[in-house]
Structure 1
Amino acid sequence: MMRKYIIIGVQAAMILIAFNSCKKFLDVVPDNVATIDNAFTMRTQAMKFLYTCYSFMPRNGQLGDDPAMVGGDELWEIPERGAYLDMAKGFQSKVGPLGDRWQSMYQAIRDCNIFLENIGKVPDMLPEEKSRWIAEVKFLKAYYHFCLVRMYGPIPLIRTNLPISSDVNQVKVFRDPVDSCFNYISTLLDEAAIGLPAIVISPATEAGRITLPIALSLKAKVLVTAASPLFNGNTDQSALKNSDGTQLFNTTFSQDKWDIAAIACREAIDACANVGMKLYMYNPSFQQFDVSDTIKTQLSISGAVTEKWNSEIIWANTQSNTDNLQRLISNWWDPRYLDGVVTRGELSPPLKMAELFYSSNGVPINEDKTYDYTGRYNLRVAGDADKLYIHKGYTTVGIHFDREPRFYADLGFDGAVYYGHGRYDDNDFMGLFYLEGKFKQRNGKGKYGYNTVTGYNLKKLIHFQNVVNSNTDYSVVNYPYPIMRLSDLYLLYAEALNEFEGPGEEVNKYVDLVRARAGLPKVAVAWANFSTNPVKFQNKDGMRSIIRQERLIELSFESQRLWDLRRWKESATELNKQILGWDLSQTEPISYYRTTVVYNQSFGSKDYFWPIDENYIVNNRNLVQNLGW
């Protein structure tokens, strides 16, 4: 939604509804029926309430409102600014939980219910428009429930608002079994799909509103989540029961859930194809300088996220499409280009993220039989063949050589080449810039607040046309933060299909589509020719590993890794590894490229789900706390 409508929606919520959230666990509809009735007396008033329902959308990509950005292990920051990393550092608590959404999402669900209960009263609306608005709000209601389920597990389902005549026992609701939660969300999305348009009618004014491809794609993600190990036969949660003895997790694994998920993914892919969606490829026709195929590939990878409303974006959050958000991203993640420029480069990918990406042959570096994995920390000097990635003649470490295009498109490092930003270097095309990351160099440690904490910078999410205008002025290109891209959907489909029936041509096809855009050979070709395990892709376990690594690479730094690691039950492995970087206090390569422990993370079984704030437990004894909290 356009920002002005979001503001109107928030104001409408404040005017129309007298909130009383601190008195009860879940609010009932307040006793102001006349005010609510007035909100639905005409179309213009009802539209404000529609925007109110949208206004609760979490601000994806914002450090303070998106725990998936810095709540896991993808990004680290200098200790002086460590508040955003408290969850990643293991400081979660049931007293004021970090990243808590319990109250805001239930407030959103209540407003959705108010809308659905009253929209029929509006007289000056065509039936088809009313049907569309109802569908949008049913989608939002489903999404808000999903946000709660993937955070807290089983939750109370709020199908309708409690009447104002409800007694105290009706207000004190129980948590519903997790399978019931997923079934209800899926049903809401099915109902929403009936009334949604295939595309927005007026992109100039309706960008961000819900369409059929969005609804079907979210359903696909919901059902893949429901089929994943965290929710499908998770015996670790066998003790989680309501006070009346209701089992909240079905601890018996269901293979059928993967079949249902695969069907949903296929339907979503078809819906996207029907409106012409395809993986984004950079089109350089508007540029006044020639770029190589290598750079085109990198810009295709980058632009899939940063090019607003490109052919790959299924759903993007327009509430994250603000100058302040993009400037924050750029200020914190973009390296310091010139003295005085506001960019800082403070949020840093750890070494584990650098090692995640494939070799140039498209297989993991520890599997590539041609890659010197044991010597990856040895020093090398960049030659003429490396100059598109690393400053020619620069001494850096072996792990920065012979890597896949996404490595160079997503990460910056000491000696790395950056493109864009309106800067010129001698004898090169527009925008060439080299990182210098050693002690007291331009991008190195020794200047407070202007360096990484690991030795790596984040290129991803930064539009290449952000411009350094002067030593004190830096302009940014805004774009709505992607919630779901086509590559995400393709990999969900491959995952579900592999889990249900094992590897095959259809599974490979959708992984290979993503790899082709990234400039990599097909899975079968890469593993057969370069892997120490050449038949890995031919069995379900091996293909599962390939698909998971492909997702972690393709969707890195996009608020996806935290949720994927959790649903796979891999967080206890990955988030108990050390956060490593280089020795940033050194000036010479031989000393700088020594691994250094930045932080010792810890993750226990209780951390797979957020704690419910103990205040809600005190006020409603029918609520049971998540295990371990």
Structure 2
Amino acid sequence: MRKYIILGASFLVFLAGLSSCKKFLDVVPDNVATIDNAFTLRTQAKKFLYTCYSFMPKNGQLGDDPAMVGGDELWEIPERGAYLDMAKGFQSKVGPLGDRWQQMYQGIRDCNIFLENIGKVPDMEPEEKISWISEVKFLKAYYHFCLVRMYGPIPLIKNNLPISADVNEVKVFRDPVDSCFNYIATLLNEAAPGLPLTIISPATEAGRITLPIALSLRAKVLVTAASPLFNGNTDQSALKNSNGTQLFNTTYSKAKWDTAVVACKRAIDVCASAGMKLYIYNPSFQQFIVSDTIKTQLSINGAVTEKWNSEVIWANTQSDTYNLQRLISSWWDPRYLDGVITRGELSPPLKIAEMFYSSNGVPINEDKTYDYTGRYNLRVSGDADRLYVHKGYTTVGLHFNREPRFYADLGFDGAVYYGHGRYDDKDFMGLFYLEGKFKQRNGKGKYGFNTVTGYNLKKLIHFQNVINSQDDYSVVNYPYPIMRLSDLYLLYAEALNESEGPGTEVNKYIDLVRARAGLPTVAASWTNFSTNPVKYQNKDGMRAIIHQERLIELSFESQRLWDLRRWKESATELNKQILGWDLSQTEPISYYRTTVVYNQSFGSKDYFWPIDENYIVNNRNLAQNLGW
């Protein structure tokens, strides 16, 4: 048996620069014995398998997911969250905010240990060993991908370093980014044949890796590799290792998009063979009277919150949504009276509210029937609007004639909600509404937290959550989705448009997503309602459509931050002001005045995380990212 440096931090010698081998020699014997014992029986090896899973980032958790509040999609009260500091431009190479370098490499270390030793386990069938090996190869690929997406080119750790490695071997260089993506894709290809099409026992194995998960991640990896941040990015031409190795290929390659097209279609076909389809709300029994309007909103909501529904390709069972839902929704219900602690800590900015389409399925600044210049003018809700805005309520024109995802995903002053134990509407049971002005039921000026922009998050909240009393809020928990079928469909449409240009196949997969959202086809919407009716017929126009469709469909699902970066659009979007309404006002005419919450600043260096300077100091072979 080859002996390896296996102590958690010590495997990261090239990262933390702990160049004294004596330090490792002092601790290795005990750890080696532990590893030897871990693979003497199947039961022990299974524990180690779960250890390999344990390093997965907790998607959707404010303290462990920079894509929640590290960009511009959600804003927090100032007192909370390191990631909000990142969104404010306070990132640093000294203890970087949201640093995952050591965590991911520790996960890779344990994956390598597993792969090196699983063959020794005596009481396992060969087929099961193959399956477990495939799962761990997937995890190893995923952890590398998490690092590349954050830091760009990274050192690839294909095998653990032997304990006999000298100081020069452990002080490794970063690998070129193309090599990183190729290695990740290769690992996923190797993992795929040994993975099951579906989970046999959802009660005990939900969240474990399947073939659709592996191929879908591979599709996302290759789309990321083909995107502008990594494909011909001349802004990174100066990033080189100290030995002169160029870490970014600055020449654009269309072939990367061609490869991504094949990977996306392969993943779609496998998902279809596994019985996956876009989620549509269709209860087996009708508990309430529900209109088609509400059913559409419940389909949009349930695609995320209905656990293990037909659309969820991969969900993180380690990401508990219980606390997340309580954090952002336990204060909505009208029965929450003055004096009760209220919480509204995640607030979408005004620009996110404006991002959603009009009811005609095109951008509001592009809809020739939409009063865009008058969108901030006051308007009173009528009977026709009562399922979206409380009848008789005064709000702004921006909140009328919008697409179903706007109403399903966002809350605002006067917004109608469905479910949550409310049965107040004589025709459509389960409706209630928000009151968000100063010292109103859900507004600023009372004890506790409140929205900081005037908008609230509805999307991640299960509609069957119920407030039973002023201090009892029951939550329908669900694992946080990492990848849904709609995500895969839009990745395919994007890759196909970049590879071949717009066409029937591109439209097909966008339209599938739009149909579930209650919208007409791209062709019908742009032809009939857009000021640019031929936009969808050229590559640049279709690219803009696909980008906006992704940002809307996957809003608040930890996707926007990564998409804006890979498209190199962060420098545009994250230099816009974070705006909201004037929350200290009681009258609509004053409340609906735009107010600057924060002036964001994003520079070219912010596209990648800095490598902690301690790692650089101790391993001079690690080149720091540009600008840091």
Shift of the 536–583 alpha-carbon distance from structure 1 to 2, 3 Å rule, reads same
The 5 Å alignment of 1:166-181 reads 166-181=165-180
Q: 1:24 aligns with which of 13, 30, 36?
A: 13
**CA contact under 8 A between 1:335 and 1:345: conserved in structure 2?**
no
Q: Equivalences for 1:44-123 in 2 at 5 Å?
A: 44-81=43-80, 83-123=82-122
Equivalent residues in 2 for 1:532-551, closer than 5 Å: 532-551=531-550
Which amino acid letter does the alignment assign opposite residue 415 of structure 1? Answer: G
- Give the C-alpha shift of residue 84 in structure 1: 3.9
Q: Is the 8 A contact 1:453 1:581 kept in 2?
A: yes
Task: Give per-residue Cα distances to partners, 1:284-305, cap 9 Å, x unaligned.
Answer: 3333222000000000000000
Deviation at 1:235, TM superposition (A): 0.1
Is the contact made by 2:63 and 2:81 (CA closer than 8 Å) also made in structure 1? no
Distance 2:376 2:288 in 1: 36
Q: Which residue does 2:527 correspond to in 1?
A: 528
Change in Cα spacing, 1:561 to 1:23, as seen in structure 2 (3 Å) is closer
Please give the alpha-carbon distance, in whole angstroms, between the structure 1 residues aligned to 2:145 and 2:11. 23
Partner of 2:21: none
Per-residue CA shift, 1:149-175, capped at 9, x if unaligned?
Answer: 000000000000000111111110000
The corresponding residue for 2:395 is: 396
Structure 1 residues 146 and 83: CA distance shift in structure 2, 3 A: closer
Given that 2:60 and 2:321 are in contact with CA atoms closer than 8 Å, whether structure 1 keeps it comes out as no
Within 5 Å, which residues of 2 pair with 1:27-46?
30-31=28-29, 32-46=31-45
TM-score (norm 1): 0.95
SS at match of 2:79: helix
1:144 aligns to 2:143 (yes or no): yes
Q: Is the 8 A contact 1:87 1:98 kept in 2?
A: yes
CA deviations over 1:332-381 (Å, ceiling 9, x no partner): x8577512665512210000000000000000000000000000000000
Deviation at 1:21, TM superposition (A): 3.9
Contact kept? 1:154, 1:181, Cα under 8 Å? yes
1:422 to 2:421 alignment: yes
Residues 75-121 of structure 1: CA distance to partner in whole angstroms, max 9, x if unpaired? 11222335441000000000000010000000000000000000000
Q: State the 1:36 CA deviation.
A: 1.1
**Aligned partner of 1:338: which letter?**
Y
C-alpha distance 82-132 of structure 1, shift in aligned 2 (>3 A): closer
Q: Secondary structure at the match of 1:626?
A: coil
In structure 1, what is the Cα distance between the partners aligned to 2:62 and 2:223?
A: 26
Distance 2:514 2:177 in 1: 34
Q: Deviations over 1:300-320 (max 9, x none)?
A: 000000000000000000001
Q: Is 1:195 matched with 2:194?
A: yes
CA separation of 1:300 and 1:448: change in aligned 2, threshold 3 A = same
Say which SS state the counterpart of residue 318 (structure 2) adopts: helix
Give the corresponding residue for 2:560: 561
Aligned to 2:620: 621
Aligned length: 613
Q: Is the 8 A contact 1:341 1:474 kept in 2?
A: no
RMSD: 1.6
User: What is the aligned partner in structure 2 of residue 185 from structure 1?
Assistant: 184
Corresponding residue for residue 3 of structure 1:
none
1:265 is matched with: 264
Shift of 1:328: 3.5
In the alignment, is the contact (CA less than 8 A) between 1:173 and 1:623 conserved in 2?
Answer: yes
| Cα distance, 1:447 vs structure 2 | 1.4
- Residue 208 of structure 1 and its aligned partner are, at CA, apart by 0.2
Conserved 8 A contact 1:491-1:547:
yes
CA distance in 1, matches of 2:95, 2:385: 50
Cα separation, 1, equivalents of 2:533 and 2:56:
45
Q: Distance in 2 between matches of 1:23 and 1:185?
A: 20
SS of 1:319 mapped into structure 2: strand
CA distance in 1, matches of 2:112, 2:316: 22
1:436 counterpart residue number = 435
Query: Match of 2:224, as an amino acid?
Result: T
Equivalent residues of 2:231, 2:251 under 8 A apart: yes
Could you tell me how far apart the structure 2 residues matched to 1:247 and 1:346 are?
Answer: 43
Change (3 A) 1:365 1:335: farther
Consecutive unaligned residues of structure 1, counting only runs of 5 or more, are 1-15
Counterparts of 1:60 and 1:261, CA distance in 2: 24
Q: Distance in 2 between matches of 1:188 and 1:352?
A: 39
SS of residue paired to 2:496: helix
Which runs of structure 1 show a deviation greater than 6 angstroms over 4 or more consecutive aligned residues? none
C-alpha separation in 1, matches of 2:11 and 2:128: 36
1:202-221 to 2 correspondence within 5 Å? 202-221=201-220
Contact persistence 2:342–2:448 (CA under 8 A): no
Structure 1 equivalent of residue 302 of structure 2: 303
DSSP-derived class of the 2:284 partner: helix
Amino acid at match of 1:614: E
Amino acid at match of 1:536: K
CA distance in 1, matches of 2:174, 2:468: 55
Q: Which residue of 1 aligns with 2:472?
A: 473
**Percent identical across equivalent pairs?**
87
Query: Helix, strand or coil for the counterpart of 1:623?
Result: coil
8 Å contact 2:340–2:447 — kept in the other structure?
no
**Which residue of structure 2 aligns with residue 315 of structure 1?**
314
* Contact 2:389/2:416 (8 A) holds in 1: yes
Helix, strand or coil for the counterpart of 2:467? strand
CA distance in 1 between partners of 2:536 and 2:333 (Å): 38
> What does residue 604 of structure 1 align with?
603
How far apart, in 2, do the equivalents of 1:570 and 1:23 lie?
Answer: 33
Cα separation, 1, equivalents of 2:592 and 2:12: 56
> Greater shift after overlay, 321-330 or 562-571?
321-330
Tell whether the 8 Å contact from 1:232 to 1:253 is kept in structure 2 after alignment.
yes
Instruction: Give the whole-Å Cα distance in 1 for the aligned partners of 2:321 and 2:281.
Output: 24
Query: What one-letter code is carried by the residue in structure 1 that aligns with 2:548?
Result: Q
CA gap 1:504/1:308 in 2 versus in 1, 3 angstroms: same
1:35 Cα offset (Å): 2.1
Taking structure 1 as reference, are residues 344 and 322 closer, same or farther at Cα in structure 2, changes over 3 Å only?
closer
SS at 1:581's partner residue? strand
2:352 maps to: 353
* 1:439-518 to 2 correspondences below 5 Å: 439-518=438-517
Structure 2 length as normaliser, TM-score?
Answer: 0.95
- Whole-angstrom CA distance in 2 between matches of 1:341 and 1:209: 41
Instruction: Give 1:325 shift.
Output: 4.3
Kept in 1: contact 2:453–2:583 (CA 8 A): yes
**Residue type matched to 2:417 in 1?**
Y
Per-residue CA deviations over 1:596-622 (Å, capped at 9, x if unaligned) read 100000000000000000000011110
On the 8 A contact 1:61/1:320 being kept in 2, the answer is yes
Cα deviation for residue 322 of structure 1 reads 5.6
How many Å separate the matches in 1 of 2:488 and 2:443? 38
Query: Contact between 1:192 and 1:215, CA under 8 Å: does it hold in 2?
Result: yes
Q: Alpha carbons of 1:82 and 1:325: their partners in 2 closer, same or farther (altered >3 Å)?
A: closer
Offset from partner CA, 1:402-437 (integer Å, 9 cap, x none): 000000000000000011110232635442111001
Query: Equivalents in 2 of 1:18, 1:547: separation in Å?
Result: 46
Following TM superposition, by how much is the alpha carbon of 1:450 offset from its aligned partner in structure 2, in angstroms?
Answer: 3.2
